[in-house]
Structure 1
Amino acid sequence: MARRDARNWHDCSKMIGLLCLVASILIQHGVSGQRVKVEPEVLSYPGQTVNLRCAFTDATGMQLTMVTWIYEPKDGERINIAVFLPNFEPNYPASPVKGRVSFMPSPPNVNNPSIEISNVRMNDEGKYICEYATYPTGNEQGITYLIMLAKPQNSASVVTVEAGGTKPVVVARCESVDGRPAATISWVTAVNGNATTVAKTGADNTETISSEYRMLPTPADNGKDLSCVVAHRTQVKPDSFLLKLAVQYAPLVTIVGYDNNWYVGRTNVMLTCQATANPAPLTTQWKTMSGEKPDTVQITDNVLKVLKVDDAVNTTFVCEVKNRIGIGRDTVTVIVREPSVSPSNAGVVAGAVIGSLLALLLVAALIAVLVTRSRRQQQGYRANGGSDMKTRIFGGGKKASKNGTGGGAGSGVGGGNNNGPVYVYNESSSHQGIGEKNNHHQPLTIGGRPEVVATTPTAQDILLSNELDDVERRKFDELEEDERYDQFTGGAPILQLRPPHDQDDMIGDYMDDDMESQRDGSVISRTAVYV
């Protein structure tokens, strides 16, 4: 049992010692790696000369016995390309860079053994190791990556295609040729499609990238923007190529100009045949469905002009446009209508009609006013109560005294103003003059003197007259029963006056109210009735 425990302890001690040795080696390697200083990466273009620098920063307590530069290709084995021993000449073994590699400066310095490679090639790209052999610590190294750059030749182009296919086709190509490292290509567009990219390696380790954009083209896609963007390490900014899609299609035709208001007699109306196509249209032809062109139609290129619309234009017009891809057409059916009044003329006519109606109403109103005024003027004596008439007839309207005198002079019924003949004036609707209707004068004795009284319409006419106002009706109704006639049987003229034996005042009042002066200077009675 004790022996087994001792053996286990011995194994554990050996394991601990091994771990300590590995740790010390790793620590020593880390420290030595920090003392060899190199550039992590060097860029170069083909044909240039590159400098690969190397230096040992702290050689205290050790001896630098040898410096070796080793080349390790991307796909290959390590190869020594330059060796330097103190007190010896530099050595350049056989390698892909022999004859183009050398230490710098010359003669080299073991503390700074940099090398120079001239006329570098694309195949020179890879890992370059600067390794020191030291005593007593062993070998220490630093690694530099040489990256060969090749600025590519970038280009882009569109591919002319025809619309109407059923499978996506290539509409544009973009390439980045002989670049190092490989370029990246992207597409920027609003059209629907997909890109495919292919890479190809050249003989000198360059990369060629080709990208194609595929889509199902339509006529609407023609002329739309498509950009190819190429980004590369050698470029300050990406190259962008703006392209216009080239999609060929048969003409798309549209006829414009018909406003659905072609009426008989309308002049100079036009139809225009508009077409879009790729390639450009070759011919434009106008036809009619009936096959006959109306006589009033003129055709100039894509414009059809109708000089004057008539029934012959009542047809269907066809416009056909042709290009290399095919033929496109459009039709329009014209319906010839009866002439109609335009909205502006209708407004003028309506305004004229309304104005005429207003003028007629105004004239009618004016006539009515004039007629009413004329009638009122003819009946003015009634409105004034007859006072003015009595003044004209009896000289100021003074009543006769009981002794038969008026105004203090004369005798009889009418005083001094009733010496002439007295007439009755008819103001009926017939508007006839004095005595025109019944021009019969018969003698009448008033106050012992003969007077002449003109015949007037019957009492029935007076009662039915529209021009007899209320005052006259009341005056007539107030007469005594024996002084008026309600019925007449014809025959000889009938005279009704107040009896001569009435009192003088009554006669004077009666005569003042009854007598009326006429336009010819005569005086007639208002209430005298003749048949």
Structure 2
Amino acid sequence: MIGLLCLVASMLASHGASGQRVKVEPEVSSYPGQTVNLRCAFTDATGIQLTMVTWIYEPKGGERTNIAVFHPSFAPNYPDSPVKGRVSFSPSPSSMSSPSIAITDVRMTDEGKYICEYASYPSGNEQGITHLVMLAKPQNSASIVTVLAGSTPVVVARCESVDGRPPAEISWVTVVNGNATTQKNTGADNTVTVTSEYRMVPTAADNGKDLSCVVGHRTQVKPESFLLKLAIQYPPQVTIVGYDNNWYMGRTNGILTCNAVGNPPPMTTQWKTMSGEMPELAQITNNVLKVLKVDDSVNTTFVCEVSNRIGTGRDQVTVVVRGTRLPEKGATTGSIIGAIIGVIILLAIIGTAIAMYRKHSNKLSRGGPPKYKPPPPKTTNSAARLIRSADPVAENRPLQDQYYNSQSAEPVTDLDAHHDTDDYSGVDMEHYHAAAPSGWDDPGNNEVPPPYVGSDSDTQDYHQGPNVSRGESFVSPAMFV
């Protein structure tokens, strides 16, 4: 048993090794009418005697047929076959090492297996197989199928790829719910026609939606796409607009509009009432009904009927006539109220800002030192003597400390009125009196001066009155307090 297994293994290995020595192209493609070259060669004939080469044609699902035979001692032979008259060894004359063939004016029926088989000694026959693939570019097309809206699936679109080789691949791209069915039919010349149909339950809502057919084929650089739009016919869908539930006695120009959509488009529009009588003040223009003035006759149900080739659709609205008008609440009132509130808020913000600014300014003016501080009053010798006589201790202090203290409250004075005056002859008295206590600031009264006032001689030293002669008017010196 072991010896038998070894013998079988060696035979299979020898056959596999020998099979690899016949070199051919695994696949060759061609279009109808062209010339194809089928190459064959024996790569290593060492120790082997090659006696003959035979080309065999095997169609898909058919029987094998010899189409060309080469023997080194005889001329090439071409038996009867589907390719007789169109097949020949190439180049010519041929050789055992390279017995390639050429087939001219190839046809779609020439597709199949082509076997190059060597008859050799002592290994026996060895062969290589080439698949000839015939290509035919198909004619692609797509079309929409117009259908009526319904409740059962129907074909809504069709896509075809005619006379292609190999068969085309068809797919659908859409957002509508449905499914596709595909059929393949082989022609007499071995081409294939592929037909795909898309089925769905047609509804009015799907009318006009996109549906694409995509065809892919080996002969095309990229798939070919056809964009379609569903064509679903349905009777008019009608809607009446314009009634706002606020039709009151005496209202003018009440308008009702009858809107309708359908496929095919609506053709006729008809207005009527449930009572059978149209109000006298109602005017109809196409799909618009206008009531010139609302009264009791308008208190009815209006019906609008619209028809197309498929059928008729209708809608109705019941008008209730009110005695008085309802208050209107629209976007305009809300906008006005909002604008008023916005203005009030803006004014409040501005007022608050102004109040805070003023408060801050007043605080700065009260809390800080004065921007201008008047100079201390200028003293005279007479005033100094009066102060020294009243306060002996003050004689030893500087005059500046005696007459001005920045830490004490400012005296009530009118220094600013005479600050810029060059003549100080009569101003010193005013400064002195201004610094006097309340009740003593009027030198013109006849009150007796306090006991600390100096003698007349001192007063005369301080202010010398004008010299006048007797009989002339004169002003007596002022009394200082």
Alignment of 1:73-222 (within 5 A): 73-164=59-150, 166-222=151-207
Secondary structure, counterpart of 1:108 in structure 2: coil
For structure 2, the 5+ residue unaligned runs are 337-481
Match for 2:306 among 301, 317, 321? 321
Residues 406-458 of structure 1 show CA distances to partners (whole Å, capped at 9, x for unaligned) of: xxxxxxxxxxxxxxxxxxxxxxxxxxxxxxxxxxxxxxxxxxxxxxxxxxxxx
How many residue pairs are counted as aligned between the two chains? 333
Residues 198 and 343 (structure 1 numbering): CA distance in 2 closer, same or farther, change over 3 Å?
A: closer
Letter of the 1:304 partner, please give it: L
C-alpha distance in structure 2 between counterparts of 1:93 and 1:262, whole Å: 100
CA distance in 1, matches of 2:8, 2:122: 17
CA distance in 1, matches of 2:282, 2:141: 54
Residue 418 of structure 2 corresponds to which residue in structure 1?
none
Structure 2 residue aligned with 1:482: none
Change (3 A) 1:344 1:207: closer
The aligned amino acid for 1:244 is K
Residue of structure 1 equivalent to 2:353: none
For 1:98, give the aligned amino acid: K
Query: Is 2:243 aligned against 1:258?
Result: yes
- Structure 1 residue 87: deviation in Å? 4.3
Return the letter of the residue paired with 1:23: A
User: 1:299 pairs with 284, 287, 296, which one?
Assistant: 284
Supply the distance in 1 between the matched residues of 2:269 and 2:289 (Cα, whole angstroms).
11
Q: Aligned to 2:29, which of 17, 40, 43?
A: 43
Shift of 1:319: 0.7
1:418 counterpart residue number:
none
CA distance in 2, matches of 1:243, 1:232: 20
Q: Which whole-Å deviations, capped at 9, do the CAs of 1:212-243 have from their partners, x for residues lacking one?
A: 22222222222222222222222222222222
1:328, distance to aligned residue in structure 2 (A) = 0.7
TM-score, normalised relative to structure 1: 0.59
Deviation, 1:341, is 6.8
**Aligned partners of 2:317 and 2:57: how far apart in 1?**
82
Structure 2 CA distance for partners of 1:184 and 1:341, relative to 1, 3 Å = closer
Secondary structure, counterpart of 2:322 in structure 1: coil
Structure-to-structure mapping, 1:413-492, within 5 angstroms: none
Cα deviation for residue 146 of structure 1 reads 0.7
In the TM superposition, what is the alpha-carbon distance from 1:42 to its structure 2 partner?
0.9
What are the superposed Cα offsets for residues 64-99 of structure 1, whole Å, 9 maximum, x if unpaired? 322211111112222111111224322111111000
Determine if contact 2:246/2:326 at 8 Å carries over to the other structure.
no
SS in 2 for 1:47: coil
Q: Provide the residue aligned with 2:456 in structure 1.
A: none
Q: Cα distance, 1:151 vs. partner? A: 2.0
Equivalent AA in structure 2 for residue 122 of structure 1: M
> Is the CA contact 2:247–2:325 (under 8 Å) kept in the aligned structure 1?
no
Residue number among 9, 12, 17 corresponding to 1:23 in the alignment: 9
Greater displacement, 124-133 / 333-342: 333-342
Q: Over residues 275-294 of structure 1, what are the superposed CA-to-partner deviations in whole Å (9 max), with x where a residue is unaligned?
A: 11111111011112222222
Measure how far apart 1:329 and its partner are. 0.7
Residue type at the aligned position of 1:18: L
Where does the alignment leave 5 or more consecutive residues of structure 1 unmatched? 1-14, 352-531
Which one-letter code corresponds to 2:70 in the other structure? F
Given residue 132 of structure 1, which amino acid in structure 2 is its aligned partner? Y
| 1:211 CA drift (Å) | 2.2
CA contact (8 A) 2:246 2:325 kept: no
Cα shift readout 1:362-406 (whole Å, capped 9, x = no counterpart): xxxxxxxxxxxxxxxxxxxxxxxxxxxxxxxxxxxxxxxxxxxxx
Deviations 1:32-63 (A, max 9, x none): 22221111011112222111111222223333
Task: Give the 3-state SS of the residue equivalent to 1:319 in structure 2.
Answer: strand
Could you tell me the percent identity over the aligned residues? 77
Shift of the alpha carbon at 1:24?
2.1
> 1:65 corresponds to which residue?
51
Matches within 5 A, 1:301-450: 301-340=286-325, 342-343=327-328
In structure 2, what residue type is equivalent to 1:76? G
Q: TM-score, normalised on structure 2?
A: 0.65
Query: 1:24 is matched by which residue type in structure 2?
Result: S
CA drift at 1:18: 3.3
Work out the CA distance in 1 between the residues paired with 2:326 and 2:153: 57
Q: Show CA shifts across 1:176-195 (max 9, x none).
A: 22222222322222223232
Aligned equivalents of 2:316 and 2:107: distance in 1?
70
CA shift in 2, pair 1:307/1:34, >3 Å: same
Aligned-partner Cα distance in 1 for 2:123–2:181: 56
1:124 Cα deviation after fit? 0.9
Matched, 1:273 2:258: yes
**Cα distance in structure 1, aligned partners of 2:323 and 2:34:** 90
Matching residue of 2:42: 56
Which protein shows a greater Rg? 1
- What is the CA–CA distance in structure 2 between the aligned matches of 1:341 and 1:41, rounded to whole Å? 87
Q: Do the aligned partners of residues 341 and 96 (structure 1) sit closer, same or farther apart at CA in structure 2, a change above 3 Å counting? A: closer
**Residues in 1 aligned to 2:258 and 2:37: alpha-carbon distance in whole angstroms:** 73
Letter of the structure 2 residue corresponding to residue 234 of structure 1: T
- Of the three residues 226, 232, 238, the one matched with 2:211 is 226
